Amino acid sequence: MMNFQERVFDAHTSGGKELGNLPEWDLTDLYANPEAPELNRDMKWLEAECADFAKSYEGKLAGLDAAGLLTAVQRYEEIDIIAGRIMSYAGLRYYQITTDSERAKFMADCQDQITTFTTPLVFYGLEFNRLNDAHLDGLLAANADLARYKPVFDRMRAMKPHQLSDELEKFLHDQSTVGAAAWNRLFDETMAGLEFDVDGETLSLESTLNLLTEQDRSKRAAATHALAAVFQDNIKLFARVHNTLAKEKEIEDRWRKMPTPQTGRHLANHVEAEVVEALRNAVVAAYPRLSHRYYALKAKWLGLERMQVWDRNAPLPMETTRTVDWDEAQDTVMNAYAGFDPKMAEIAKPFFTDGWIDAAVKPGKAPGAFAHPTVSTVHPYVMLNYLGKPRDVMTLAHELGHGVHQVLAADQGELLSSTPLTLAETASVFGEMLTFRKMLDGAKTQEERKILLAGKVEDMINTVVRQIAFYDFECKLHAARAEGELTPDDINALWMSVQAESLGPVFDFAPGYETFWSYIPHFVHSPFYVYAYAFGDGLVNALYAVYEEGDADFQSKYFDMLRAGGSKHHKELLAPFGLDASDPKFWDKGLSMIEGFIDELEAMED
């Protein structure tokens, strides 16, 4: 069953100047303003409808015929849409200026009201899961419209062994705004308010992280030291947030009889634990062939015996520092999308023309980037912190890919449009790959090709190697927290235990780097989210290989996959392409694409 406060925001980081006219969100497609009569109307409707839904159905689901159950599901879906619309508006408005106390209060008040209104609905998922299997199968066989929702029911019933008593479930729902949601908000507001002194200039987190991709090595070092100093100053707070959230999760998992801390995420992603384990093992085994080999090559290009952490995302020495203005970024991505299929560019166009993107870096704005689907009756919104780096073009391509996916999946309706995180990364990473290939094809010199290839390899390492290292860190963190409270030094040590292993022997780690776990939002907002990036990258690499082989129906199959949203399991979605993610060799196919790029870079040295 859906948690109305959980709307996934996909975070990346970006980085520039003289950028042209950067777009801002127009949120009026949701609501005109916080006092809009439509918002007040929807809030009142929600309160009344939730109460009436409970009155109509609590204790009665087992007695409904197929038509009656379909009506209940459709009424629940409408509640989901209205609650999601309100929280999308409140959340997006808040993320524009997280330091604005009025916006923070408005979002918190909306959360409180909706949590109160929807508490009477907790019975629905619990009671549904108590329906006899044979009885439910009979209802689905009797009504095709009801049977369409079977994937939703399957995901709900996967939680059946882990649900608690009705009273406990209502309690957990009721107190959710002062549990994880409150700690999430504390983390977000603290991060948005941090200031970093870099050579006498006061910068935000986003602008400081951006310096890590500067050509000037001294600037990269200064930014790293500034980040480390501020993280250290706040380390007790960040350790408290992680300790509390991990403990809260451990308690709830124990009550729900979840076998591992990761189980809940796997169930939400509709992916088998052994598939994730196969992915993780394949990537870890490939560390020497991927990151270790690439960074040794990069050290040579940079003229360094040893690499420091601030060299990891450094541009190559021959790379010119240039700003990509907004119009060029838009043209690059749209041309790449249109080159794949004009339909893809057509779907992407309103993001640029209709106020669906918020691109500028502004004081108090949430860091990173995300694509938020809102609800199936409106449209997605994309947030960027666009600073004009070439990699920001890739971030635009990535988030726009999410947006296209969300637009296409919306036709499934609210309950079926939501895509598991593992598949949600498919269109975004594919959008990046299209953009990269378009830029690579346009390279005029060997040097330009080398710069593009190296940038793509680094992005793929960040998406695959780095995220699996993050996943291992989280696994260690939750396992250690189950044994007792963790000091900041304990968490620092866990962080460092995955860094050398994943990045390779060429790296030294400057004092202070051990605190860099503290700013990564996924650990706070969505435990174990991070493996979805590696899953998506591996899946897309395999998909792209099929595309390159010249499958004549590839575009139509691809759009069908995106339109499916959450209505099909990954096995069904990949079958038309002749792919199977449960085959351990599947992941090696994806990783071999990265190896191939590194092979080409090494060959350029000869």
Round the average pLDDT of the chain to a whole number and report it.
92
CB 400 within 8 A of CB 382: yes
Interval 406-459: pLDDT, tens: 999 999 999 999 888 788 888 999 999 999 999 888 888 888 899 889 989 998
Q: Give residue for tokens 């950067």.
A: 22
Interval 415-426: pLDDT, tens: 999 888 788 888
The whole-number pLDDT of residue 550 equals 86
Interval 325-370: pLDDT, tens: 999 999 999 999 999 999 999 999 999 999 999 999 998 999 889 9
CA distance 317 to 330: 27
Residues 6+ apart with CB under 8 A from 317: 215, 301, 302, 303
3-class SS of residue 372: strand
Confidence band (pLDDT; 50, 70, 90) for 606?
low
Residue 575 above 90 pLDDT? yes
Residues 6+ apart with CB under 8 A from 591: 282, 283, 286, 289, 290, 464, 538, 541
Interval 159-205: pLDDT, tens: 889 988 888 988 888 888 888 889 999 999 999 899 999 999 999 99
Q: Give residue for tokens 């912190």.
A: 385
Q: What is the average per-residue pLDDT within 291-311?
A: 96
DSSP class per residue in 194-227: --EEETTEEE-HHHHHHGGG-S-HHHHHHHHHHH
Tokens coding 243? 């300790």
DSSP class per residue in 472-518: HHHHHHHHHHTTS---HHHHHHHHHHHHHHHH-TTEE--TTGGGGGG
CB 515 within 8 A of CB 235: yes
Q: Give residue for tokens 């360094």.
A: 304
Tokens coding 104? 């923070």
Q: Over the Cα atoms of the chain, what is R_g?
A: 24
Residue 549 above 90 pLDDT? no
Q: How far is CA 581 from the centre of its chain?
A: 20
- 506 vs 166 pLDDT, higher one: 506
- From its phi and psi, is residue 583 left (phi > 0), alpha (psi between -120 and 50) or beta? beta
Residue 1 above 70 pLDDT? no
Residue 508 above 50 pLDDT? yes
Interhelix angle 446-463/421-441, nearest 10 degrees: 170
CA 560-561-562 angle, to 5 degrees, is 90
Interval 145-154: pLDDT, tens: 999 999 999 9
Tokens coding 205? 């987190």
Interval 41-94: pLDDT, tens: 999 999 999 999 999 999 999 999 999 999 999 999 999 999 999 999 999 999
CA distances from 552 to 542, 556, 580 (A): 17, 9, 20
The whole-number pLDDT of residue 391 equals 83
Confidence band (pLDDT; 50, 70, 90) for 584?
confident
Tokens coding 479? 């396992």
Handedness of CA 408, 82, 378, 101 (dihedral sign): negative
Q: Which of 44, 554, 571, 594 is nearest to 287 (CA)?
A: 594
CB 183 within 8 A of CB 242: no
CB 52 within 8 A of CB 332: no
Interval 269-283: pLDDT, tens: 888 999 999 999 999
Strands 196-198 and 201-203: antiparallel
Residues 6+ apart with CB under 8 A from 584: 278, 281, 282
CATH topology of domain 27-178: Butyryl-CoA Dehydrogenase, subunit A; domain 3 (1.20.140)
Q: What is the average per-residue pLDDT within 474-503?
A: 97
Query: Which CATH number is 326-457+531-578's, of 3.40.50.720, 1.10.1370.40, 3.40.640.10, 1.10.8.350?
Result: 1.10.1370.40
> 27-178 and 199-318+463-525 share one CATH topology?
no
- What's 358's DSSP letter? E
Q: What is the average per-residue pLDDT within 384-395?
A: 90
Helix (H) or strand (E) run with residue 404 in it: helix 390-409
Strand partners, 196: 203
Using a 10 angstrom Cβ sphere, with 0-12 exposed, 13-18 middle and 19 or more buried, the burial of residue 78 is middle
CA distance 580 to 229: 46
**Domain 199-318+463-525 falls under CATH 1.10.1370.20:** yes
Count of beta carbons in the 10 Å neighbourhood of residue 323: 15
Confidence band (pLDDT; 50, 70, 90) for 11?
very low
CA distance 241 to 488: 11
- Whether the full predicted model's pTM is greater than 0.75, yes or no, is yes
CA 84-85-89 angle, to 5 degrees, is 115
Helix (H) or strand (E) run with residue 36 in it: none
Strands 381-383 and 370-372: antiparallel
3-class SS of residue 383: strand
3-class SS of residue 578: coil
Q: What is the average per-residue pLDDT within 548-577?
A: 92
**Domain segments of the chain: what residues?**
27-178, 199-318+463-525, 326-457+531-578
Tokens coding 176? 């959710």
Tokens coding 112? 């409180």
Residue 2 above 60 pLDDT? no
CB 176 within 8 A of CB 185: no
CA distance 184 to 190: 10
Helix segments in 176-290, DSSP class H: 180-193, 205-210, 217-233, 235-255, 263-269, 273-286
CA distance 169 to 432: 41
CA distance 162 to 140: 24
